[in-house]
């Protein structure tokens, strides 16, 4: 099963909508609750990163019997130093975004902690592509 | 303890989400950093914060939190309150600071 979402940069009012829909869907599919919790954290952070840091993007969610693969592809400034961006506390968020409580620099590490595989490809001045994989618990 | 019991005990305001007052509180988390709450709060916890915008409700819903407590007399924005009603996750309020209300909630949940 595959679903797609379009995300607009700067649109904080709808940030989290894709995560919410995927959560509902995973519940309907009877995915293990602890897997759902982790997927929701990872997806929310990645969704918010498009809103906070990029211009626009798409989220493609592929759900297979054993795993979920989420691809977040954005047009944006890209990430010059991915290792630096991965460090907890590093953030280039604007002061306005920080006042809202975003921009703690914990997003990418939250994604890493809550997924099984995280792949980041980025081209400065063009955009960023995150591929997040989580395998479902076997019952 | 249910959210309504805590409301009565600590004399909290109920701004929205009345239908969720029977939710059970399993603990609490105090933070104004959204990623901190996203990464570290647990299902069923009550969240103490000064943030009033709609993204707090998105997080409360995604994390299945019991309720949000706004500190220092802060009130939810209109779209935040609307989402609280839809999600049936109450938004409560106090004039106390995060420090003071967190201490009181901590004591109340111990009993
Ligand atoms: N999609 C993206 N496009 C451009 N830059 C990004 C993107 N995602 C993350 N970044 C960069 O990586 C940094 C760290 O991201 P993250 O850990 O989520 O923290 P935060 O979003 O709180 O700043 C961001 O501040 C930003 O500089
Ligand atoms: Mg982030």
Whether residue B79 lies within 8 A of chain A, CB to CB, comes out as yes
User: Distance from the CA of A91 to the center of ligand 1, in angstroms?
Assistant: 6
Counting atoms of ligand 1 from 1, which one is nearest the CA of A78?
A: 4
The percent of residues above 70 in pLDDT, for chain A, comes to 99
Q: Is the pLDDT of residue A65 over 90?
A: yes
Instruction: With beta carbons less than 8 A apart as the criterion, state whether A18 and A49 touch.
Output: no
> What's the number of CA atoms in the CB half-sphere (13 Å) around residue B57?
28
Tell which phi-psi region holds residue A105, choosing left (phi > 0), alpha (psi between -120 and 50) or beta: left
Residue with tokens 């929205």: B16
Q: Is the pLDDT of residue A75 over 80?
A: yes
Determine the Cα–Cα distance for residues A131 and A46; give it in Å rounded to an integer: 10
Average pLDDT over residues A107-112: 98
B interface test, pick of A7, A16, A45 with most B CB neighbours within 10 Å:
A16
Q: What is the separation of C-alpha A15 from the centre of its chain, rounded to a whole number of angstroms?
A: 11
User: Distance from the CA of A28 to the center of ligand 1, in angstroms?
Assistant: 31
Residues of chain B with pLDDT under 50: none
Determine the Cα–Cα distance for residues B81 and B20; give it in Å rounded to an integer: 13
Instruction: With beta carbons less than 8 A apart as the criterion, state whether B73 and B47 touch.
Output: no
Helix residue ranges per DSSP H, chain A? 17-28, 33-53, 82-86, 95-99, 107-113
ipTM at complex level:
0.94
Among the listed residues A115, A107, A127, A136, the one whose alpha carbon sits nearest the alpha carbon of residue A58: A127
Q: Among B32, B62, B79, whose Cβ lies nearest the Cβ of A23?
A: B62
Whether residue A98 lies within 8 A of chain B, CB to CB, comes out as no
Among the listed residues B110, B106, B56, the one whose alpha carbon sits nearest the alpha carbon of residue B83: B56
Whether residue B36 lies within 8 A of chain A, CB to CB, comes out as yes
Domain boundaries, chain B: 3-109
Whether residue A24 lies within 8 A of chain B, CB to CB, comes out as no
pLDDT band for position A139 (cuts 50, 70, 90) = low
Q: What architecture (CATH level 2) is domain B3-109?
A: 3-Layer(aba) Sandwich (3.40)
**Do strands B13-16 and A127-135 pair parallel, antiparallel, or not at all (unpaired)?**
unpaired
User: Distance from the CA of A82 to the center of ligand 2, in angstroms?
Assistant: 13
- pTM reported for the whole predicted model: 0.97
Average pLDDT over residues A44-72: 98
Burial class of residue A74 in the structure, from the number of CB atoms within 10 Å of its CB (0-12 exposed, 13-18 middle, 19+ buried): buried
Burial class of residue B11 in the structure, from the number of CB atoms within 10 Å of its CB (0-12 exposed, 13-18 middle, 19+ buried): exposed
């Amino acid at each position: 099963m595959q679903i797609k979402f379009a995300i607009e940069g700067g649109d904080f009012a709808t940030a989290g909508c894709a995560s919410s829909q995927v959560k509902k869907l995973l519940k309907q599919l009877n995915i293990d609750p602890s897997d759902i919790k982790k997927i929701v954290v990872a997806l929310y952070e990645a969704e918010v990163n498009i809103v906070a840091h990029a211009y626009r993007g798409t989220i493609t969610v592929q759900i297979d019997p054993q795993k979920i693969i989420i691809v977040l592809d954005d047009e944006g400034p890209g990430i010059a130093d991915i290792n630096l961006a991965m460090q907890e506390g590093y953030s280039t968020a604007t002061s306005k975004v920080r006042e809202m409580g975003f921009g703690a620099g914990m997003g990418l590490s939250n994604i890493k902690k809550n997924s099984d595989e995280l792949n980041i490809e980025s081209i400065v001045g063009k955009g960023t592509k995150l591929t997040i994989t989580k395998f479902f618990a076997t019952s | 303890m249910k959210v309504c019991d805590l409301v009565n005990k600590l004399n909290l305001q109920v701004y929205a989400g009345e239908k969720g007052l029977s939710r059970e509180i399993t603990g609490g988390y105090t933070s104004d950093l959204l990623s901190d709450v996203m990464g570290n709060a647990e299902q069923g916890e009550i969240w103490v914060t000064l943030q009033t915008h709609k993204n707090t409700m998105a997080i409360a819903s995604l994390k299945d939190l019991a309720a949000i407590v706004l500190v220092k007399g802060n009130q939810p924005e209109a779209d935040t309150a609307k989402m609280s009603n839809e999600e049936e996750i109450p938004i409560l309020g106090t004039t106390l600071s995060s420090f003071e209300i967190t201490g009181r909630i901590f004591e109340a949940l111990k009993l």
